[in-house]
Chains A and B, each alone.
Chain A
Amino acid sequence: MAWLFVRLKFRITANTVGQGGVMSALGLLLLWAGAVVFGVVGGGLVVLATANLPGPQITAVAVSTAVHVGWVVVPVVAASLDATLDARSFELLPVRPRQLGLGLLVAGVVGPGGLLTVLTVGIGMGFGLWPGWIGWLTVPVLTLLHTFIVIVTGRLVTTFLSDALRTSKAQGLGQAVAVVVGIGAVLGTGAAWNLTGLVDNGLPEQMLWLAAVPSGSVGAAFASLEAGSFGPALGYVAWAVAGAVLLTWAYGRALVRSQTRAPTGRSSRVSGDAGLLGSRLQRVLSSGPVRAALAKEMRYLRRDPRLRAQFVGGLMTVAVIGIVAASFLDSPYAPFFAVVATWGVIATVAPNQFGVDAGSFWVYVVAPADPSAALLGKNATWVAVAAPVAVTAAVAGAVVAGDWTYVAAALLASGATLLVWMGVGNVTSVYGAFPLPERQLFGSNPGGRALLVSLAGLAVSGVLSGPVVVTVALAALFGGAVSATLAAAGGLVYSALLYRVTCRWAGTLVEERRFHLIDALDER
């Protein structure tokens, strides 16, 4: 039965590439090539790291964890990259939940993620980096256990997030699982790196909580083995296995529930009609197309799991960067973390702003209003969301550093970053639109073009942000706070001009390409 799912996945991939033409094939090739490159780089990292550091097992699991974070984060941020992901597609077939779960898990391993893992672990194993019979026995087994935990968690989260479970509680729970496991895995990676020199039972006291996350528990087992503490290692392994069993059980339950739809009705009732906005504010904001779009987007941000997942994914990235760059937060430049936070909010949503509208995009087209009003409404939403995030990050940075000198410069630079990414994102949203969840990312409608346009958009946004970031950084380093503030203000003017130009361009494009957009965003 599992083999059938694998064949299905290959067949769907081949068909969608066949229908999508050259661009689709190119997009898919790019994804696979990326997996190969990252897999080789990951394997190389294992080799390099183990040459210089003690504890090769821990290094291996660190890289392995970093690779596997993708198994959790990618489905949350870009659900349905995998066409066989949606359990509801199989709801009319006489397949038992156990067979279905196994089939979907196996199909999940087939793809760029699986290739990446095999290459990473394989290259490390091929170089014989794990000395001794214990290493040869434990590393593959624990790595497999770790892989299984992360894959089953990814599947669990995406099953929860599927439309089959549409209650707010289920979606919230799914996202909470993603956040806990994702951050746990990232922290586990960092901890594993730091643990290479540890003795005794492997984990320092302040890191013990990481072992509560099943993937972190595998890392702790490695650390204990490295330290020669077999008793604690067995305990951690037992906990990891128990976690894996629990996750598998939850996945099975989620599968069964996803095939028997949530009851229609009261669970989705919204009390009042204000959503995120008070009714008075609602009345003010709702006059005119742009403001109507803004009010709609604010409601969607609260209710739509795909949009929230993008938002949560962006903030998770910011949190990870914050952890990695913790030492930077002690310096007076800490308020500049607001720029990273702003980027985290906007970078995941800007390139494909119509994606969440998907098949509903036609409503904008049949209305006599300019379709670009929808884009402006979306932009206004992200300004409203990013502003408090940036202010909070800047103030938090200043409090941590005990230095408020660069707060103004950081906020201005954040505004500039927002405008550049949003402006370029408006253009890519028209050129490379695809529906979320993107069932047919490589299909006949958006094709691989959507992926390539998104990647190009990210690159262009990065390049166009460059002058702002470099100027402000140089001004801060060599001129001080006043120079940095002036540079950031200049950057804001530059970004505003850039935004105006790109926005006009996007407005013309959305009018010209509205038929392409209807096709590209059609989920069928």
Chain B
Amino acid sequence: MIAPAVSIVGLTKRFGPKVALDAISFDIPPGSFFGICGPNGAGKTTLLRVVTGLLRPDAGTVEVAGQDVWTNPAAAKEFFGVVPDDPSMFPRLTGRELIDFNGLLRRMDPSVVTERRDTLLRLLDLADDADTLVADYSLGMTKKVAIAAALLHNPRVLFLDEPFAGLDPVARQTLERILARHTASGGTVVFSDHAMDVVERLCDHLIIVDRGRVALSGQVRDVTDGRRLQDVFVDLVGAPVDSTGDMTWLGSSFD
């Protein structure tokens, strides 16, 4: 049996009385394109933050490439890269300097950093803005430079929180190709997104998280079983009652 790229067992996280993650357990196979879906506030970001060591869980274990993120964090962090949903990335460095800084922080050889950095900047269409401060990047550009920084050390597992939000269609397509290449060469991509069509198109595995629990998991084709993922999701999570009729005032005063 092939060892999972990521193994999560009994992961629990509470914020006061609110249970954000309720004993979540699942495995992510190596080389997979793994989607994490769920409604707003379901616990997707919390899950990714706990898995990547940015938030301490109340209970449970996380292993990345066989290394426990909590008992052996330095070893585990060698194997993964992270892009949070709203990446704050030292805004007073330029894009070029930021990528260098991330590589050198990971003790990478400076010549390797330079070579990979130039490739990533060119691929992500950031070469012309490489010497502009990150503070002056748009959201999409900031996301792209964060992705470049996360890819720099060639991680086995890449965790991305809503990576496509804010990207233009060209950058989106480029990123999809980069991620597809990463999985084709044995890497694992784990990402959360609200856009069901994106998840359906890119992912081979997914979980749907609702109220801190895994509501559904498996291979995408098994989960959808010929239906649209959007419909499966809405059926599972439950559509809210349509109360827009109460908003009689909306637009009523327009001439």
Contacts and interface: CB of A to CB of B under 8 A. Distances in A.
Interface of A: 163, 166, 264-273, 275, 283, 286-289, 291-293, 295-296, 299-300, 303-304, 357-360, 362-370, 373, 515, 518, 523-524
B110 A283 contact: yes
Contact of A268 (B54, B88, B101, B132): B132
A373 B107 CA distance: 12
Nearest to A362: B54
Interface stretch (B28-36, B77-85, B119-127, B217-225): B77-85
Contacts of B136: 166, 264-265, 267-268
Contacts of A370: 74
A475 to B, nearest CB: 44
A380 to B, nearest CB: 14
Given A358-B88, A515-B54, A288 B104 contact: yes
A292 B89 contact: no
A522 B97 CA distance: 23
A366 B52 contact: yes
Contact of B89 (A360, A365, A367): A360
Contact of B102 (A163, A287, A357, A367): A367
Nearest to B106: A367
B53 A268 contact: no
A524 B105 CA distance: 26
A270 B90 contact: no
Interface size class of B (residues with CB under 8 A): 35 or more
B96 interface: yes
B135 interface: yes
Contacts of A299: 92-93, 97
A279 to B, nearest CB: 12
A293 B106 CA distance: 12
A273 B107 contact: no
A384 B137 CA distance: 30
B131 A271 contact: yes
A349 to B, nearest CB: 15
A369 B138 contact: no
Given A271-B131, A366-B54, A288 B92 contact: no
Interface in B176-220: none
Nearest to A303: B92
A365 B54 contact: yes
Contacts of B131: 269-273
B100 interface: yes
B14 interface: no
A515 B94 CA distance: 27
Given A166-B136, A270-B131, A368 B78 contact: yes
A369 B97 contact: no
B105 A369 contact: yes
B106 A362 contact: no
Given A268-B135, A299-B93, A518-B54, A368 B74 contact: yes
Sorted from nearest, which 6 A-B pairs have the closest CB atoms? A359-B88, A292-B104, A368-B77, A268-B133, A268-B136, A303-B92
B54 A289 contact: no
Contact of B90 (A272, A296, A515, A524): A296
- The interface centre, meaning the residue of B105, B110, B131, B133 with most chain A CB atoms within 10 A of its CB, is B105
A427 B82 CA distance: 28
Contacts of A373: 105
Contacts of A266: 132
Contacts of A269: 131-133
A194 to B, nearest CB: 43
A261 to B, nearest CB: 10
A354 B11 CA distance: 30
B59 interface: no
Contact of B105 (A166, A267, A283, A292): A292
A300 B93 CA distance: 7
B135 A366 contact: no
A423 B189 CA distance: 42
A308 B161 CA distance: 33
B105 A363 contact: yes
B82 A366 contact: yes
A166 B88 CA distance: 17
Given A304-B92, A363-B102, A366-B80, 10 more contacts: A268-B133, A269-B133, A273-B131, A289-B104, A296-B101, A299-B93, A366-B53, A366-B81, A369-B74, A373-B105
Given A265-B132, A303-B133, A369 B106 contact: yes
Interface in B50-91: 52-56, 73-75, 77-78, 80-82, 84, 86, 88-91
A90 B122 CA distance: 38
B53 A369 contact: no
Contacts of A292: 100-101, 104-105
